[in-house]
Structure 1
Amino acid sequence: MSETPAVFDDLRDESLQLDALVAALPPERWGTPTPAPRWTVAHQIAHLAWTDRAALLAMGDPDAFAGEVAKALAAPESFVDDGADEGAAQEPAVLLARWREGREELQKVLRAAAASKAKFPWYGPPMSAASMATGRLMETWAHGEDVAEALGVARPPTGRLRHVARIGVRARDFAYAAHGLPVPGEEFRVELGAPDGSLWSYGPEDAAQRVTGPALDFCLLVTQRAHRDDLAVRAEGPDADRWLGIAQAFAGPPGQGRPPKGARPGPAA
């Protein structure tokens, strides 16, 4: 099987896993706070539905999507939250149906566009259909982690993380640029322990700058779902060490990330 249909299948499966977490939730549980400040379970699903619709717009009407990019640039601090707020205000059943319909439509459009090798606009660099699917999988997994943590569910890592790890590695230069930092001229070596015990490796074997650790921890790092102090990801070399402090696998401005576990506020009395 080629990599292109594999990522589409994995995006579908990642979405189904998250769907199974929320499908049977009573309406009041959709208001459960998640680790993202001010975001509930409903906000997390609303954001995924909103971003799927944005991807459909980018692939179907690039001119109209350019207008959405302009809105994002005009209000970078509130654009994403506004979209999540709007969706979270819907009845859970309506929101769930909207998410399901949007992601099914996106699956069809992505698969149809796969053979064209066309590039589509996005909030970051333009992307092919396969890259768009990889980005959607990354977000679905990351927001799914937030939902799972809020609901007290432990999700075992799967081989689908290879897509998240790959986009995290490929986004290295973007992370530096997003922070206004000079991009290192040399490639890094990244070696990650996969969930099945194998090794995922990227970059030249003899690179002086190196990053090693479990694939799950690396994915939590680049999606900013955990602080590096709470993860077993290690850097060799000053440039690699700096990267671990700024890494992001998502487009847009740098996120705030998560504080170390010891610095997080405890539950309300």
Structure 2
Amino acid sequence: MSDPTPVFGDLCEESEQLDRMVAELRSEQWGLATPAAGWSVAHQIAHLAWTDRSALLAVTDPEGFKGLVEKALAAPGSFVDQGAEEGAGLPPGELLERWRAGRAALDQALRAVPAGARLPWYGPPMSAASMATARLMETWAHGLDVAGALGVTSAPTDRLRHIARLGFRTRDFAHVVHGLPVPAEPFRVELRSPAGEVWAYGPEDAAQRVTGPALDFCLLVTQRAHRADLALTATGPGADRWLDIAQAFAGPPGAGRAPARKGAAR
């Protein structure tokens, strides 16, 4: 990605859209349950605020960030939940201001990262543009959970192109975290954007292929919907296996969501 400016701007827009969703909530609405088991609206925003602060530390103090990685490795099953739980206990106004301040500071820091620099993370090191893409992916995914709790629907936008590209690029990572061999064959992914365009990744002649709506692919790789509830088609055994384990976020394998008819689970 030669010019990272678009993803920085899109991350800000995605955050502002979610901000508008929660800015005027009553205190009791912050406690509403979301589709993520055990997480309220407050937990979702607290998680975003916590992760933004982690990303800011990775950008501004890489050595200090190593301490967070060590904590994550020591308690991989509870590390993320602890961060969300701590923030969710704050008064809603304080939590909202903490999230706003953190994401503004991160935006400024990411824009100042020198071209070609690599930033540490819980997964492989990444560029500033990739860091912003990961933050956009999480903001969108957790925003879906908040919308589910509030009973509102947000129309998909072309900002999904960043998440779709990340989902494609994390194919190998998804196999590694599941203890599976990385496929040797190239994959082709062709997605229909919200505007009706085709977003394509991988060689045109690849035998392993995934096709369908970009929204559905993004829901899959963020594990916000079960594959059975999505209109994605896999051609080839490798592509079929990938759709069962796809994961665009760092960390251990996610539990995903159960099919809609069985309810949701984080």
User: Which TM-score bucket, shorter chain as reference?
Assistant: over 0.9
Q: Which residue of 2 aligns with 1:91?
A: 91
Q: Which residue of 2 aligns with 1:43?
A: 43
Q: 1 CA distance for matches of 2:183 and 2:66?
A: 31
Matched to 1:47, the amino acid is: H
Matched to 1:110, the amino acid is: L
1:264 to partner: Cα distance: 1.5
Note the 1:9-48 alignment, pairs <5 A. 9-48=9-48
Note the 1:231-246 alignment, pairs <5 A. 231-246=230-245
Q: Which residue of 2 aligns with 1:71?
A: 71
Q: Which residue of 2 aligns with 1:56?
A: 56
1:3 to partner: Cα distance: 3.9
Q: 2 CA distance for matches of 1:62 and 1:5?
A: 23
Give deviations 1:128-166, integer Å, cap 9, x for gaps: 111100000000000000001111111110000000001
Q: Which residue of 1 aligns with 2:129?
A: 130
1:62 to partner: Cα distance: 1.1
Give deviations 1:79-109, integer Å, cap 9, x for gaps: 0000000000000000000000000000100
Q: 2 CA distance for matches of 1:241 and 1:47?
A: 31
Give deviations 1:32-84, integer Å, cap 9, x for gaps: 00000100000000000000000011111111111110100000010000000
Tell me the number of residue pairs that the alignment of Structure 1 and Structure 2 aligns.
264
Matched to 2:211, the amino acid is: T
What SS class does the counterpart of residue 190 from structure 1 fall into? strand
1:27 to partner: Cα distance: 0.7
Q: 2 CA distance for matches of 1:3 and 1:85?
A: 36
What SS class does the counterpart of residue 189 from structure 1 fall into? strand
Query: Structure 2: where are the runs of 5+ without partners?
Result: none
Once superposed, which parts of structure 1, at least 4 consecutive aligned residues long, lie more than 4 Å away?
none
> What is the identity percentage for the equivalent residue pairs of Structure 1 and Structure 2?
69
Give deviations 1:191-224, integer Å, cap 9, x for gaps: 0000000000000001000000000000000000
Q: 2 CA distance for matches of 1:167 and 1:128?
A: 13
- Pairwise CA RMSD: 1.1
Q: 1 CA distance for matches of 2:138 and 2:29?
A: 22
1:116 to partner: Cα distance: 2.9
Matched to 1:22, the amino acid is: V
1:262 to partner: Cα distance: 1.0
Q: Which residue of 1 aligns with 2:175?
A: 176
Query: Structure 1: where are the runs of 5+ without partners?
Result: none
Matched to 2:61, the amino acid is: D
| 2:147 corresponds to 1:140 | no
